[in-house]
Chains A and B, each alone.
Chain A
Amino acid sequence: MMMENVTTLTQDKLAGGYRVLTVASSVIAPRVKPGQFVHLRVPQLGESVLRRPFSVFKTEVGTLSILYKNIGLGTQAMTRLRPGDVIHLMGPLGNGFPDPDPAAYPVLVAGGYGLAALYLLAQRAPTQGIVFAGGARSADLLCIQEFEQLGWEIRAATEDGSEGDKGFVTRPLDVWLTHELGIRTPQFFVCGPLGLLHAVAERAMIGNWTAWVSLDRHMGCGVGACLACVQKVRIRPTADAGLTHEPSAPSPGSDAKAWKWARICTEGPVFECRDILWETNEH
């Protein structure tokens, strides 16, 4: 958890309105674990009081990249960053993904730019597995070649059928689970829209497999102080002896329903899918 003034090195335009921003970072970059994020103060955005959280896409010696899409006030301002421009970063933040279980077969599932948050995991995993990448159209299937270069197998789906299977990414996933999984035990790492996280979580719970999902939520402080980015999670009787922000009344005697708020920025953004109270996520 550090603060660093980083300098913009490059800003690469990808198809579909996506961009990769690479900055020189000597303090934060070497400390990033897969699935962690940085909290970025967007320069030249005076009327904006909140930072913007971004999963780290890649790190190399002295550099850090994020992949983003121009979707709002903050990201629009970010498109104007030029080489040499200085940005204030806080990070690395959040828990990140746990190390993949060497006894399991790693299965990455991503929707849209959620794939970027899985790159470091794929790069550092002891064994290669399979990647399921989904998006609305082929332009949303980002950086899949880079996973191929790491030796991962790719299965893709687009909602308009312009690349891979037509439909949601759960379609090729289900086919694979049914016909190709064999005797392997999959371990899921998932990043993307909430519906995708939930869909993979359901499959993992039915199959009795582990699924680590990364939640993406609007954040305030990013450091656990403001309590804006909270998620209801199950209270595990043994694991929760530490400090928590206890809710008012986890009804005693009905342990299955006992819950607490977890701060996505600090206790998350990665959770094991069984810890999340999925039914509470409908807004």
Chain B
Amino acid sequence: MNTNPPTAPDLSMMIGGIPLKCPIMTASGTFGYGREYAPYIDLNQLGAVVVKGISLQPAAGNPPPRMVETRGGLLNAIGLQNPGADVFVRDYLPFFRDYQVAVIVNIWGRSLEDYEAVAERLSGVPGIHGLELNISCPNIKEGGMAFGTNPVMTRQVISRVRAKTRLPLIPKLSPNVAAIAEFAKLAEDCGADALSLINSFPAMAVDIETQRPALANVVGGLTGPAIHPIAVRLVWEAAKAVKIPIIAMGGITDAREAIEFFIVGASAVAVGTANFTDPGTALAIASGLEAYLKRKGLSSIRELIGSLQI
């Protein structure tokens, strides 16, 4: 009797030209620059690491308190503190030389020129596999979400950055729009190679003893399990509107919540807040996804994508 050993389902994936060993990534801002978590998990088992937002110049971020836990999630208003593109390339990026994991750099600016300049600075730098274009951060006064919630500005920033880089370009969309599908289509038309969605929701918490905002920035971005069902709906709507792959994120804590995103049309997922709860979350999701595919008799993750039955 000839019984072939059951083959493991194929988890490999191509996202906008970036080959991933597995479709599980870490979300920008929750995984530092990779090395912070290297003592705890094997980064080589991740599909990609998306590093914390980088701007051309260093940025100080917001004053503390910058984070507060809420029921089923947390609010953050870090304010995109970062050492700037030059220091990132010199002091942070070389860490990844010892790893075989795709590195996607989240980039942001306060003006169109800032966005262009940081994209140009990072293009051609060995070791960077793609750029995630942050047009959706709710925690900075200029730039960020202001670009991602206005179609005219969304078109401008994506088109102009597109012209400055040949790296895979992945706009990260804001959930704070009435029709996410329009923004997704717009991004695709402007030359995006893939989409990340979603960023956090502007939200607020109050310390009732002091009667002051819990965050020094007053408002922050809500992430964590509380936002997951909203993210699923937004990914579903966007996926129907575009052909480019979608990296889905928003409150993923376990394999089931990741699998929901694939079923509604995501090609990869990113784990964010759950890294704080347990650094092993992304890897646990990868094995949970594999087990699910086996159980369902699917030979590849591709068979799961967009398999929603209505």
Contact = CB atoms under 8 A, between A and B. Distances in A.
Interface in B43-72: 52, 57-61, 63-69, 71-72
A161 interface: no
Contact of B83 (A226, A228, A230, A245): A245
B147 interface: no
A47 interface: yes
A49 B251 CA distance: 10
Contacts of A245: 81-83
Nearest to B32: A225
Given A224-B32, A225-B31, A245-B81, A217 B64 contact: yes
Contacts of A184: none
Interface residues of A, number: 36
Interface string A24-65: 000000000000000001000001111100000000000000
Contacts of B74: 49-50, 220
A144 interface: no
A162 interface: no
Contacts of A218: 65, 67-68
Given A49-B225, A218-B65, A224-B36, A90 B82 contact: no
B252 to A, nearest CB: 12
Nearest to B210: A283
A48 B92 CA distance: 31
Contacts of B87: 246
B299 interface: no
Interface in A204-259: 217-218, 220-231, 243-249
A1 interface: yes
A97 B277 CA distance: 27
B96 to A, nearest CB: 15
Interface stretch (B130-138, B258-266, B268-276): B268-276
Contact of A3 (B32, B40, B92): B40
Nearest to A281: B64
B209 interface: no
A228 B277 contact: no
B286 to A, nearest CB: 17
A46 to B, nearest CB: 8
Indicate the member of A41, A218, A226, A245 with the most B CB atoms within 10 Å: A226
B211 to A, nearest CB: 13
B278 interface: yes
6 contacts: A3-B280, A50-B74, A221-B276, A248-B58, A248-B59, A249-B60
Interface of B: 29-33, 36-37, 39-40, 52, 57-61, 63-69, 71-74, 76, 78, 81-84, 87, 91-92, 216, 224-225, 273-280
Given A49-B69, A49-B73, A226-B67, 20 more contacts: A47-B225, A48-B69, A49-B72, A49-B277, A90-B40, A217-B64, A220-B276, A221-B275, A221-B276, A223-B36, A225-B31, A227-B32, A227-B61, A227-B66, A227-B78, A228-B67, A229-B67, A230-B61, A248-B59, A261-B60
Interface of A: 1-3, 41, 47-51, 88, 90, 217-218, 220-231, 243-249, 261, 266, 280, 283
